[in-house]
Structure 1
Amino acid sequence: MPMQPYRNLDGHSGVMGYELGAGWIQVWFVNGKDYRYSAANAGAEHVRNMQVLAEAGEGLASYISKFVHDKYDSGA
């Protein structure tokens, strides 16, 4: 799945887009940085929650900030 645009339903998100895979999520931010969060580093439950929020288009940036901020695999 290529990068999907984040719907940003509340209009204030720092997330621009995302890509989902089995056990991981890649998140692109409006500041030009992107980070991959995997079950290995962020935890399977957090990855599942982030995938749900990404597809819902709301709450992803807040969730990342609160629960998994520095638990990414790689980033740009």
Structure 2
Amino acid sequence: MPRLKPYRNRSRRSGVSAYAIGKGFILVHFVRDGTYEYTDAKPGRMHVRNMQTLAEAGIGLSTYISRFVRGKYARKLD
């Protein structure tokens, strides 16, 4: 598993604490619910790219996931 980077959490209210980005995927660690993998296959390339951009910006990732992706993750890692 790739090493997770701390999420900057610029809003100070995010449920996301860390993430890792790779070609065609993003791993997102939620404060209360563990780590999930999102891939180009599920939920799709557009969502993964948007999530990668938001993760690097440090704002909006948790909101994006809850609004547009929800339970469409490839797998739960822990």
TM-score class, shorter-chain normalisation, is over 0.9
Q: Are 1:73 and 2:77 counterparts?
A: no
Gaps of 5+ in 2: none
Deviations 1:40-67 (A, max 9, x none): 0111010000000000000000000011
Q: How do 1:32-71 residues align onto structure 2 when only pairs under 5 Å count? A: 32-71=33-72
Distance 1:32 1:70, change over 3 A: closer
Matched position secondary structure for 1:63: helix
Query: What is the TM-score with the length of structure 2 in the denominator?
Result: 0.93
Q: Which protein has the bigger helix share?
A: 1
Q: Percent identity?
A: 50
Residues matched between the structures, number? 76
Deviation beyond 4 Å, 4+ runs, structure 1: none
Aligned mates of 1:46, 1:10 — CA distance in 2: 21
**Corresponding residue for residue 10 of structure 1:** 11
Gaps of 5+ in 1: none
Aligned mates of 2:54, 2:39 — CA distance in 1: 15
Query: What is the TM-score with the length of structure 1 in the denominator?
Result: 0.95
